[in-house]
Structure 1
Amino acid sequence: IKTTFHIYRACFHELIEKNLIYSKFQAEEVKDKLWNLAKLSHGLSGRTLRKLPMIAFSHIQQCDHFIHPEQLFKAMHHQLIYQKNTNNYLQQFDNQ
């Protein structure tokens, strides 16, 4: 979980550095949200973990507005559920 948290934190900071999401957010709140997402991400590959924030971002991107971190966290949560459901579905065929 710790490694997953660090991957998400690095992605989050990169989005802030690129001015893609609003950066005036409480550090402790961000940390808690990222830890919760990291816990939910158990079983996903490192590649998927690194792609997830950008996939989530692409689903909520607005042309001329900053994305609020809460929007990103919700989109990441939805993408996590989607990825896990897809992985579970595909594993059914591998086990047959």
Structure 2
Amino acid sequence: MIVSIDNKEYYLRYSLRSLFKYEQLTGHPYEGKKLEDAYLLLHASLMACNPEYSLTFEQLIDQCDIDPTIFEGFMELVKTEADRLEQLKKKAKPVKANRKKG
């Protein structure tokens, strides 16, 4: 997904790199319990996908106030990815260990 923030285009994904960056920023894994956490995940995702991204968290919040579709689009992306991963889990069959009786 491409998002325009302050007249610049950024690539945006919800990925492992995003989650790693979130943990680096906050010191804990993403749980999504607070709205601020979701905005921090957006910030982390922008950082993870765009080496040239230089906005501070406060600047990003200001831009999201101006254009709420930035956050709405990201949350839809997160939901779509979570749904996709859930479907993959359902399709995966449990692996049975080969146990020898002795």
- For the superposition of Structure 1 and Structure 2, which TM-score range results when normalised by the shorter chain? 0.3 to 0.5
TM-score (norm 1): 0.37
Structure with bigger RCO (C-alpha 8 Å, 6+ apart): 1
Larger Rg: 2
